[in-house]
Amino acid sequence: MRRLTAFTILFASIFCVLGVNGVHAQVRHGADSIAVSAIVVGTDTVPSITLHIFEVVDKLPKKFRKQREAWTRLRNAVYVTYPYAKAAARILKDVDAHLATLHDKKEKKKYLAEIEKKMKAQFGDKLENLSVYQGKVLMKLINRETGQNCYEIIKELKGGFSARMWQTVAFFFGGNLKSEYDTQEDKDIEVIVQEIELYRGSRAYNY
């Protein structure tokens, strides 16, 4: 995107005036002359007119259009999935705390079945509507929020067989339950997360 600022236009105007009127730009000629502001440059008085700021925008090159489209897609995916990652971290923390109080295997299994039922009722339809791309972003965000990848979480709560089964399903859709959040590779995601947190904090403060 190329922009012409008022600063650039102002100096271009000054040089045009100098080129036309020479060193006598300060002299008025005739009754139809218009008085303007001026600045003194050496021994010359140069007309100075401040123009309104405006932008001259050219169409983005194809390379930058693709970058903008990719950024917009990622930003939308993070905004959609970040609340689910936060909820997952909160639920997992509560589940781990409650499981620590249960010592009977049947009680643990019953409790996990209840939690799974509640989660399906609360998030099932919404998560099913996510695109494959949004699902990949969600898995990275869950790892960011919990410190565990999705494979580890499923293995811990449902067992190794379930984890392997869902990993196979994810593989066929181009995903990987073992994908983890990398601060360098996923720095764009981090920028968007910080934007969301800043906006959330601002709303909470203003409220």
Segment 103-123, tens digit of pLDDT: 888 888 888 888 888 888 888
Pick the more confident residue, 157 or 136: 136
Angstrom distances, CA of residue 85 to CA of 48, 136, 141 = 57, 12, 6
Counting residues of the chain whose pLDDT is more than 70, the rounded percentage is 78
pLDDT of 145 above 70? yes
**Among the residues of the chain, which ranges form H helices?**
6-21, 62-99, 105-128, 132-146, 150-158, 160-172, 187-206
Q: Look at residue 155 in the predicted model and tell me its pLDDT.
A: 83
Q: Look at residue 190 in the predicted model and tell me its pLDDT.
A: 95
Pick the more confident residue, 3 or 93: 93
Comparing CA positions, the residue from 203, 186, 175 lying closest to residue 78 is 186
How high is the mean pLDDT of the chain?
78
pLDDT of 92 above 90? no
pLDDT of 8 above 80? no
pLDDT of 82 above 80? yes
For 72-86, what is the mean pLDDT? Answer: 94
Which phi and psi (to 5°) does residue 47 adopt?
-55, 140
pLDDT of 13 above 60? no
Tell if the pTM clears 0.75, that is, is over it: no
pLDDT of 102 above 80? yes
**pLDDT tens-digit profile of 15-26?**
444 444 444 444
Structure tokens at 189: 């995601």
Q: Evaluate whether 81 touches 126 at the Cβ level (below 8 Å).
A: no
Q: Look at residue 32 in the predicted model and tell me its pLDDT.
A: 57
